[in-house]
């Protein structure tokens, strides 16, 4: 029955796409039909695009607020690390913004750097404004409001370029980002059109949310709805998943803590759909918790950490961790972010703030603007009903929408890679 259902879904998804849009290559085939599976599983090596083993990389730090005193609890933080991947000749430079909770050097970013290097670009990679390194070193206030995050990102990009401009010859500036980084890119481009520091010629949004609030709510529901017995039973569920994973993974290491490596270990199993969904939700929840706690400490506390309490390098954080992991992005928005912005702008309504957090707020700017390109998947789990049609309408012939691949699972599929590099090179059909 399940197989029949899967086959039917596969056929329907292909048919639906053929009739609606013809942009992706006709040969496109992706082995994972289930969007959760597609999101978690990497494409088998033999289907993936070939990438060079080694590329020239230069890592460096920027300090947007050099006078900022970093709280002792973040003793390991010292400047925001960025990287430059460089060609030995004049070439276009792509600023690449990482997705939610990701550093400039997570595996996906390293691979994307290779894709872009291979296509002839210099690349400066930037950590997401929702990652704790960014919040500590480069956030000017509370992270999570796109227009303000864009200002912080723009400042970092400017400093990063100043730092490397002697090393590279740049012919033009481009901008790209995936997931939340794609969303950020739209707002950065908008800012750049007013400030003209880079004058981006092309901007590529890969798998961005349309409405940030909808996406983070959807991700959190994956966790809350899929832990059997509810969140009160989380410990038991996680212990079960853990021991199943351990049975299969011979080489266990504490390195298996990050989202990406959790996936890697996990995919050796034959996981159930609900476990996969919960795991995706858990990764998102953990990323949000890290950001929220960090933002709280950086802003003097009051949300999770009591005000006037200074955490040191030996302070126990266990209780704060437990509370933070019980806090979703939506809680943060409703209880802290919105009241905070309302205090700064009297008369600001919740709806008005939420509207700013959508690509719809930039519709007039994005629609018909030839410098924008979009890559997405019809079954992306961060989208809600109607989003794909909307994106297709706004980006029109510069939207490459693939029938399957989940949330970025297909990013290194050769067809997706040629859409990425083709658009950035300005050679799109």
Partner 1 sequence: MAAAAAAWRLLAPLLFLLLLSACSTMPTVTGPVEPPLRRYEDLVKPGQPNMLDVKDSVEGFNRGSYRFNYYFDEYLYRPVVRGYEFIMPNYLEDRVSDAIDNLGEITNLTNNLMQFNLKGAGITVSRFVINSTIGVGGLWDQAKKMGLKRQTEDFGLTLGHYGTGSGSYLMLPVLGASNVRDTTGLIADLATSNYLGPVAWINDSTFTFAYSGIYAIDRRHRTPFRYRQTGSPFEYELIRTLYTMKRDFDIEQTKEQK
248 touches partner 1 (CB under 8 A): no
Residue whose token pair is 């460096």:
60
253 touches partner 1 (CB under 8 A): yes
Binding to partner 1 in span 75-94, by CB under 8 A: 75-76
257 touches partner 1 (CB under 8 A): yes
Identify the residue among 239, 367, 370, 393 touching partner 1 (CB under 8 A): 239
Q: How far is the CB of 334 from partner 1 (least distance, A)?
A: 11
Angle between helices 273-298 and 212-226 (to 10 degrees): 120
Is residue 362 within 8 Å of 190, Cβ to Cβ? yes
Q: State the pairing for strand pair 170-178/122-126.
A: unpaired
Q: How far is the CB of 381 from partner 1 (least distance, A)?
A: 22
Residue whose token pair is 């399940």:
2
58: enclosing H helix or E strand: strand 57-62
Residue whose token pair is 């006037």:
308
322 touches partner 1 (CB under 8 A): yes
Phi, psi of 19 (to 5 degrees): -75, -35
Angle between helices 146-164 and 180-195 (to 10 degrees): 70
321 touches partner 1 (CB under 8 A): yes
Identify the residue among 126, 142, 305, 399 touching partner 1 (CB under 8 A): 305
Q: What are 168's two structure tokens?
A: 């590279």
Q: What are 277's two structure tokens?
A: 């969904």
Identify the residue among 31, 79, 256, 422 touching partner 1 (CB under 8 A): 256
The total number of residues shown for the chain amounts to: 429
68 touches partner 1 (CB under 8 A): no
Identify the residue among 87, 137, 294, 377 touching partner 1 (CB under 8 A): 294
* Closer of 286 and 394 to partner 1 (Cβ): 286
29 touches partner 1 (CB under 8 A): no
Name the β-bridge partners of 203.
Answer: 175, 372
Q: How far is the CB of 116 from partner 1 (least distance, A)?
A: 23
Q: State the pairing for strand pair 399-402/372-377.
A: parallel
Would you tell me which residues interact with partner 1 (CB under 8 A)?
73-76, 101-103, 131-133, 232, 235, 238-239, 242-243, 246, 252-258, 286, 289-290, 293-294, 296-297, 301-327, 331, 335-336
């Amino acid at each position: 029955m399940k197989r029949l259902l899967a086959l039917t879904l596969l056929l329907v998804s292909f048919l639906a796409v053929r009739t609606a849009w013809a942009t992706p290559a006709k040969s496109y085939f992706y082995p994972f039909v289930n969007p959760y599976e597609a999101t978690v599983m990497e494409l088998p090596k033999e289907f993936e695009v070939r990438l060079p083993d080694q590329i020239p990389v230069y890592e460096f730090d920027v300090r947007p607020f050099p006078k900022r005193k970093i709280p002792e609890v973040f003793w390991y933080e010292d400047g925001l690390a960025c990287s430059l991947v460089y060609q030995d000749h004049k070439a276009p430079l792509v600023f690449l913004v990482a997705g939610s909770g990701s550093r400039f050097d997570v595996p996906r970013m390293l691979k994307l750097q290779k894709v872009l290097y291979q296509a002839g670009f210099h690349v400066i990679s930037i950590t997401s404004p929702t990652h704790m390194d960014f919040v500590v070193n480069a956030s000017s206030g509370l992270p999570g409001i796109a227009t303000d995050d864009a200002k912080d990102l723009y400042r970092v990009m400017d400093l990063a370029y100043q730092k490397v401009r002697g090393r590279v010859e740049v012919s033009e500036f481009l901008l790209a980002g995936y997931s939340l980084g794609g969303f950020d890119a739209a707002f950065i481009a908008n800012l750049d059109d007013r400030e003209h520091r880079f004058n981006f010629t092309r901007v590529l949004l890969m798998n961005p949310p349309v409405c940030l609030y909808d996406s983070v709510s959807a991700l959190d529901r994956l966790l809350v709805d899929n832990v059997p017995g509810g969140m009160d039973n989380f410990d038991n569920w996680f212990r079960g998943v853990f021991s199943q994973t351990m049975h299969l993974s011979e080489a266990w290491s504490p390195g298996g803590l990050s989202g990406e490596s959790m996936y890697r270990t996990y995919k050796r199993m034959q996981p159930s759909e609900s476990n996969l969904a919960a795991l995706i939700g858990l990764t998102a929840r953990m990323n949000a918790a890290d950001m929220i706690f960090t933002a709280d400490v950086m802003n003097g506390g009051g949300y999770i950490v009591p005000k006037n309490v200074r955490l040191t390098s030996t302070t126990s954080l266990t209780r704060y961790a437990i509370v933070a992991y019980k806090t979703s992005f939506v809680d943060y928005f409703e209880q802290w972010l919105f009241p905070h912005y309302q205090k700064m702008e009297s008369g600001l309504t919740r709806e008005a703030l939420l509207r700013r957090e959508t690509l719809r707020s930039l519709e007039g700017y994005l629609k018909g603007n030839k410098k924008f390109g979009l890559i997405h998947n019809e079954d992306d789990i961060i989208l809600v009903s109607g989003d794909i049609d909307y994106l297709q309408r706004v980006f029109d012939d510069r939207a490459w929408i693939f029938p399957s691949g989940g949330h970025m699972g297909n990013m290194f599929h050769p067809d997706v890679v040629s859409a990425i590099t083709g658009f950035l090179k300005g050679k799109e059909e």
